[in-house]
Amino acid sequence: MPLTESLVQDALRSVIDPNTGKDFISSKSARQITIAGSHVSVEILLDYPANSILGEIRDLVTQALAALPGVENVTVGVTSRIVSHEVQRGVQLIPNVKNIIAVASGKGGVGKSTTAVNLALALAAEGARVGILDADIYGPSQPQMLGISGKPESADGKSMEPLERYGVQAMSIGFLVDIDTPMVWRGPMVVGALEQLLRDTRWKDLDYLVVDLPPGTGDIQLTLAQKVPVTGAIIVTTPQDIALLDARKGLKMFEKVGIPILGIVENMSTHICSQCGHEEHIFGSGGAARMCADYDVELLGSLPLDIRIREETDSGKPTVVADPAGQVAGIYKSIARRAAVKLANLRQDHSSKFPNIVIQNT
């Protein structure tokens, strides 16, 4: 039987992407299938970043094609391309930012900012261009978490250049005020300051902008959710019932303003003693999974209560860069890929492809 493109496509239909659960034909990821005698080449185009598992995907496709009769050589290229997706209606988009991921929690103290910074670093490690906006005006923490000091530069006196560390662009009110200065501002001033930080920063070709929202579900958080063009939201919680009560409120807040929930991250899900190895569910167990079942959302991942996460983040070198090959960094990268896959399944934004109509008197 001669080797045909149809046979190659049939082989690719049997290969399931471990991240999406879809085969490479139905997902339209397989491109440029070329057959030259006994040599087959194919390009796999992913719509999410996946640097850490590109080799795994390449091997899966190579094995399937090499098993075809008459095939002696196989060449597989795997690349990623991130596109823009829709946001809430009536909200102005941010130039040079394709997608905005809001990281939120109903209450403080659940590790939201730590999750946000490691999510941003994980997306960057997976091959995306990433920025992080510290939206907590009252208690900015990203400057210390990223180990960044100094003030943003401004060439025109109106816009600011983001600061950068570990390949991630960053902006925070903490870059503009003294570390000991309290922000004694009312709600409208906080919202105005955040909008300035978001829109006056000259972000550079970002695939994802991670926004570390302040904790809570009050007027400030609701206003921010209505004014920031968010592609999707991630809720951070612990297994504790009290934390889950507030996490549910946060989830419902995003639903009210039409922002898709990408999933839930359960922090401090278990603790393993560094001395004896005993595992203990200090804050309970299974809470986030039950919440996901109640609201039909995905549990993106569960993170342990680990002293190293705290130490590394406090030192300005979060886990994903401090121990990139470690187990916890692997969990963060898995969460980042799952969130990116969920986002990629949302409706694409085609507004930039439509021409602007200008009426002039001639």
Q: Render 275-333 in DSSP notation, one character per residue.
A: TT--EE-TT-SSHHHHHHHHHT--EEEE----HHHHHHHHTT--HHHHSTTSHHHHHHH
Answer whether residue 360 shows pLDDT above 60. no
CATH number at residue 28: 3.30.300.130
What is the per-residue DSSP string for 170-204?
EEEGGGTS-TT------HHHHHHHHHHHHHSB---
State whether residue 251 is helix, strand or coil: helix
Residue 206 lies in a domain: yes
Could you give the CA distance from residue 99 to residue 343 in angstroms, rounded to a whole number? 9
134 CA to centre of own chain: 15
Which DSSP symbol is given to 259?
Answer: P
**111 marked among binding-site residues:** yes
Answer whether residue 305 shows pLDDT above 90. no
Answer whether residue 97 shows pLDDT above 90. yes
Residues 10 and 144 in one domain: no
pLDDT band of residue 149 (cuts 50, 70, 90) is: confident
Could you give the CA distance from residue 219 to residue 221 in angstroms, rounded to a whole number? 6
Residues forming a β-bridge with 301: 265
Q: Give the pLDDT score at 356.
A: 53
Residues 54 and 121 in one domain: no
Answer whether residue 335 shows pLDDT above 90. yes
**187 marked among binding-site residues:** no
Global confidence as pTM: 0.90
Domain count within the chain: 2
Residues 70 and 214 in one domain: no
Which tens digits make up the pLDDT trace of 41-64? 999 999 999 999 999 999 999 999
Q: Give the pLDDT score at 176.
A: 83
**110 marked among binding-site residues:** yes
Residues 75 and 224 in one domain: no
Residues 211 and 277 in one domain: yes
Q: Which of 19-28, 84-93, 334-343, 346-355 comes out lowest in average pLDDT? A: 346-355
Residues 156 and 27 in one domain: no
Residue 249 lies in a domain: yes
Q: Give the pLDDT score at 358.
A: 53
Q: Give the pLDDT score at 123.
A: 97
Residues 54 and 103 in one domain: no
Residues 166 and 257 in one domain: yes
* Residue 49 exposed, middle or buried by CB count within 10 Å (0-12, 13-18, 19+): buried
Q: Give the pLDDT score at 140.
A: 86
Cβ–Cβ < 8 Å for 123, 49: yes
Six-digit token string for 339: 């969130």
**107 marked among binding-site residues:** yes
**174 marked among binding-site residues:** no
Residues 68 and 103 in one domain: no
CATH number at residue 210: 3.40.50.300
Half-sphere exposure of 120 (CA within 13 A, CB side): 32
Residues 243 and 309 in one domain: yes
Residue 268 lies in a domain: yes
Residue that is last in its domain, among 28, 50, 80: 80
Q: What is the mean pLDDT of the segment spanning 221-228?
A: 80
Domain of 303 in residue numbering reads as 97-344
**106 marked among binding-site residues:** yes
Q: Give the pLDDT score at 1.
A: 62
Q: Which of 150-154, 163-167, 234-238, 352-356 comes out lowest in average pLDDT? A: 352-356
Six-digit token string for 20: 């999406």
Cβ–Cβ < 8 Å for 9, 25: yes
Q: Give the pLDDT score at 320.
A: 96
Residue that is last in its domain, among 50, 80, 110: 80
Rounded to 5°, the CA angle 272-273-277 comes to 80
**108 marked among binding-site residues:** yes
